Structure 1
Amino acid sequence: MRSLADWLRWQETLHPSAIDLGLDRMRRTLQRLSWRQPACPVITVAGTNGKGSTVALTSQILRAAGYRVGTFTSPHLIRYNERIVIDGREVSDASLVAAFERIDAARDSDTLTFFEFNTIAALLVFDTAGVDAIVLEVGLGGRLDSVNAVDADVAIVTSIALDHCDWLGPDVESIGREKAGIFRAGKPAIFGSREMPSSIGAVAQQLGAPLYRLGQDFGWQRDGDRWSWRGRSTSYDDLPRPALQGDLQFDNASAVLCALECLSSRLPVTRDAIDAGLRNVTLPGRFQVVRRTEPAAVDWILDVAHNPAAAQALAGQLASRPTSGRTIAVCGILGDKDIEGIAGALGNSFDAWIIIGLPGARSVPVDGLAQRLAGLGARIVKTAATVAEGCEVAQTTARAGDRVVVFGSFLTVGPALEWLQARS
């Protein structure tokens, strides 16, 4: 019998392309598996940034209300199992292997991509577990992403910015059109940012999906660390601040409350559940602060920011939390990302940069990355072949009162988090 690791290695080689957008292979395989659309409510989340936070907030509130919730996210930071979670617990190796065996037996001649295997496994696990609600995070885009084989009862698009332009189009209108592909006729479509590309509204109108826009159909107002929310038929005052870092979390939480208002007849939630969900939500790798006292008192901040919009948000969060010491970057960015845009968004956020290499075909040689960043004004103090080596350099470099910011990719933050956990 194949182990989980064996299955994952094999899946990476099965399809000729790592990314091959389209739903035909998914639908054929699901049909052979006799899979049916879920009977429970499904919330699908797309967007350039904020997807993970929105999924985490939705799941935490619903779980606090007593519902059994299945969540599907990607990519993972440390363990593949993180991608499929039921009631806050990662799926077991045994459940994944059983799902992979079923998928392989049903796929016939279809060479599924790694992500398609992942998505179908999640749907099979949720079906077996008998969950009360499913929250799905789109992997890339929306219209042709494998998650879109599932019909959403409520679809949330968190934000639109430039990312994955080779796949989704060269501008926000094209990207918005692709992400709005998760909308369904007659089902609520929620847009969770202030500035909305016109393509979002056009797709919703064409499909007959009722559109809810932040700032028009729902919104929030802050009062210190408390805030209020207004929807079309519901309102909440004196809410606790979302436990996730950054002011953009108010936008994300506001979109989640709109989605729950839309589903209130099927998934009613109490005010107590909302408060508990907002207070207790966690999401590793999104401005996650790890405080270390040895060998020196240094804050480590982990953030997966891998596009200019996310980098701009990271810069804002760093500026809002000034430190008495230096801010040291440990940076690894994939070659298909807007490296110059990311560095430009961060401006003068860092006193020193440690550049690290990343694995895989999408990586850029570490010396080449360092040269590009140095050309933009970054003060490079060291390069390292791996994330772990870069973290070792940062630990040696940092003095008491400094902070280390690890960012640029899931492939950067995941190994750094693992490195920190091994030393806690």
Structure 2
Amino acid sequence: MTKNIPSQSSSLDDWLCYLESVHPANIAMGLERVANVANNIGLLNTSSKIILIGGTNGKGTTARCLESLLLAQGFSVGTYASPHLVRYNERVRINGAELDDQFHIDAFDLLEQGRGETPLTYFEYGTLGALAIFKRHEVDYVLLEVGLGGRFDATNIVTPYASVITTIDLDHKEYLGDTRELVGYDKAGIFRIDTPAIIGDLNIPHTVTDYGSDIAANMYLSGQDFIFKEHQNSFSWQFKEFDYEFVKPSIPCQNAATALTTLAVLGLLPSRRVISDCFANLVVEGRFQRLSSSPLVYTDVAHNPESARYLTKKLKQLRDQGFKVHALAAMLEDKDKVAVLNEVSSVIEHWHLAGLDCFRGETVKNLTKAMDNVKSHAPLEQYQDVELALDSVLPKLDERSVLIIFGSFFTVAAAIKYWKK
């Protein structure tokens, strides 16, 4: 049955439901379809300078850092991120702000008129819709977060001014491969000939640098071309003539250093004072975000081993301050649950597991079964969903307890919605 096509007077929710129905697959690799549609409506003919940001973790924080530093210099900036936490509008920002629904509706309507018979996935619609919005606003710079991998991701139809890889780790193994070398090769597909390629990973797979060398990309490697060091309350960054030290921002120092290097390479680095001000005010939703002070509650989107390791570092700091760490975890079924839970298990003194009622959401029964292979002797409780878990757990927390809610973007979204009730 053909679904009715929405119009410019339809709601954004109507459009999003329609987009989910157009393509039979949630993910479809390949660029030909999406590039044809983009060319048909002239989306790739733009004056904006585009920075592609790929990587397993750290794309969102690196993009937010770049956005802040560019805005502080008076540039106009369009940022595309995914997935969203609560509202679709979070995916597209103009100068740091979300847009009214009508901007998205107009973009989707333009795509629907221009795609002909070409099917597009939900993510491809979102990517092209963002490009349409950025062209409409004629922004100076576009920050595009790569969705899956790099080589065949919809964002890779553009001609980047620079390409960034934050980190390389195992995720989406069914699409990208089960080794860091395979994942790295796919992500390196966002590099271009004679174009800056900034690599933040501290142990970069040789496949990334091999590919970069083969196509003569202008690579800048963390640990070689630029260096950062973390101290107790600060971090230092060195690149060419720059040798700066800053108070630690709220994001991983590795991502901050990668963002600084990207701007330095492009001749866009602001003054030390501007950088310090930006770092002091940098907030990224869902990244060790404090939801409550009494009781103390944080939430984090950590859902793969690398992001879980970073989360563990943050939790150790709280444990060392005398806090008893409770964990509320809920994950997707296709994630490496045992590896993620193992990474954080050393700091968890009480587990609270919940199911996720969403596409690919894992049941609490299966998540509990995964705990059989996790090195932990902490007590464990089970709940049907995140909301029920919070109803039960929060009243039991005392002033020396901290709750971390993690495991998925959907988990974080549920936690944020709970506090907005």
Query: Aligned pair in 2 of structure 1 residues 397, 273: CA closer, same or farther (>3 Å)?
Result: same
Which residue pairs with 1:420 in the alignment? 419
Which residue pairs with 1:156 in the alignment? 164
The root-mean-square deviation of aligned C-alpha atoms, in Å, is 1.6
Q: Structure 2 residue aligned with 1:206, among 187, 205, 214?
A: 214
- Is residue 64–residue 276 contact of structure 1 (8 Å, CA) maintained in 2? no
Deviation at residue 34 of structure 1 after TM alignment? 1.8
Is 2:270 the counterpart of 1:261? no
Query: Aligned pair in 2 of structure 1 residues 141, 102: CA closer, same or farther (>3 Å)?
Result: same
Counterpart of 1:359, as a letter, is D
Counterpart of 2:190, as a letter, is I
Is 2:241 the counterpart of 1:243? no
Which residue pairs with 1:308 in the alignment? 305
Q: How many angstroms apart in 2 are the aligned matches of 1:255 and 1:359?
A: 36
Once the two structures are superposed, the pairs formed by residues 128-207 of structure 1 within 5 Å of their partners are 128-207=136-215
Q: How many angstroms apart in 1 are the aligned matches of 2:194 and 2:49?
A: 14
Q: How many angstroms apart in 1 are the aligned matches of 2:278 and 2:272?
A: 10
Q: How many angstroms apart in 1 are the aligned matches of 2:349 and 2:387?
A: 21
- Is residue 353–residue 378 contact of structure 1 (8 Å, CA) maintained in 2? no
- Is residue 338–residue 373 contact of structure 2 (8 Å, CA) maintained in 1? no
- Is residue 370–residue 380 contact of structure 1 (8 Å, CA) maintained in 2? no
1:27-76 Cα shifts (integer Å, max 9, x gaps)? 11111112234322211111111111101111011111111111000001
Ranges in structure 1 where 5+ consecutive residues have no aligned partner: none
Q: How many angstroms apart in 2 are the aligned matches of 1:208 and 1:37?
A: 25
1:281-312 Cα shifts (integer Å, max 9, x gaps)? 1101111123333xxxx111111000011111
1:241-263 Cα shifts (integer Å, max 9, x gaps)? 2233xxxx221111111110121
1:199-244 Cα shifts (integer Å, max 9, x gaps)? 0101101111011001110112345433332213x30423232233
Q: How many angstroms apart in 2 are the aligned matches of 1:226 and 1:311?
A: 22
Which residue pairs with 1:272 in the alignment? 273
Counterpart of 2:413, as a letter, is G
Q: Secondary structure at the match of 1:344?
A: helix
Is 2:285 the counterpart of 1:284? yes
- Is residue 100–residue 117 contact of structure 1 (8 Å, CA) maintained in 2? yes
Deviation at residue 347 of structure 1 after TM alignment? 2.3
Q: How many angstroms apart in 1 are the aligned matches of 2:45 and 2:340?
A: 39
Q: Relative to structure 2, which stretch is displaced further, 28-37 or 316-325?
A: 316-325
Deviation at residue 325 of structure 1 after TM alignment? 4.1
Q: How many angstroms apart in 2 are the aligned matches of 1:24 and 1:380?
A: 51
Counterpart of 1:344, as a letter, is N
Counterpart of 1:339, as a letter, is K
1:356-408 Cα shifts (integer Å, max 9, x gaps)? 11123412222121222245346454322222222212213322321111000
Which residue pairs with 2:346 in the alignment? 348
Which residue pairs with 2:53 in the alignment? 45
Normalising to structure 2: TM-score of the pair?
A: 0.94
Deviation at residue 6 of structure 1 after TM alignment? 0.8
- Is residue 199–residue 221 contact of structure 2 (8 Å, CA) maintained in 1? yes
Q: How many angstroms apart in 2 are the aligned matches of 1:151 and 1:299?
A: 45
1:319-358 Cα shifts (integer Å, max 9, x gaps)? 1222534211111111100011111111222122221111
- Is residue 37–residue 151 contact of structure 1 (8 Å, CA) maintained in 2? no
- Is residue 228–residue 235 contact of structure 1 (8 Å, CA) maintained in 2? no
Which residue pairs with 1:331 in the alignment? 329
Once the two structures are superposed, the pairs formed by residues 345-424 of structure 1 within 5 Å of their partners are 345-376=343-374, 377=376, 379=378, 381-422=380-421
Is 2:72 the counterpart of 1:70? no
Q: Secondary structure at the match of 1:321?
A: helix
Deviation at residue 278 of structure 1 after TM alignment? 1.6
Q: Secondary structure at the match of 1:333?
A: coil
Q: Relative to structure 2, which stretch is displaced further, 367-376 or 118-127?
A: 367-376
Normalising to structure 1: TM-score of the pair?
A: 0.93
Ranges in structure 2 where 5+ consecutive residues have no aligned partner: 1-8
Q: Secondary structure at the match of 2:128?
A: helix
Q: How many angstroms apart in 2 are the aligned matches of 1:228 and 1:363?
A: 40
Query: Aligned pair in 2 of structure 1 residues 20, 259: CA closer, same or farther (>3 Å)?
Result: same
Q: Secondary structure at the match of 1:180?
A: helix
- Is residue 355–residue 380 contact of structure 1 (8 Å, CA) maintained in 2? no
Which residue pairs with 2:3 in the alignment? none
Query: Aligned pair in 2 of structure 1 residues 375, 208: CA closer, same or farther (>3 Å)?
Result: closer
Deviation at residue 21 of structure 1 after TM alignment? 1.6
Is 2:25 the counterpart of 1:28? no
Q: How many angstroms apart in 2 are the aligned matches of 1:379 and 1:60?
A: 41
Q: How many angstroms apart in 2 are the aligned matches of 1:286 and 1:44?
A: 21
Q: How many angstroms apart in 2 are the aligned matches of 1:125 and 1:331?
A: 36
- Is residue 168–residue 178 contact of structure 1 (8 Å, CA) maintained in 2? yes
Q: How many angstroms apart in 2 are the aligned matches of 1:231 and 1:312?
A: 27
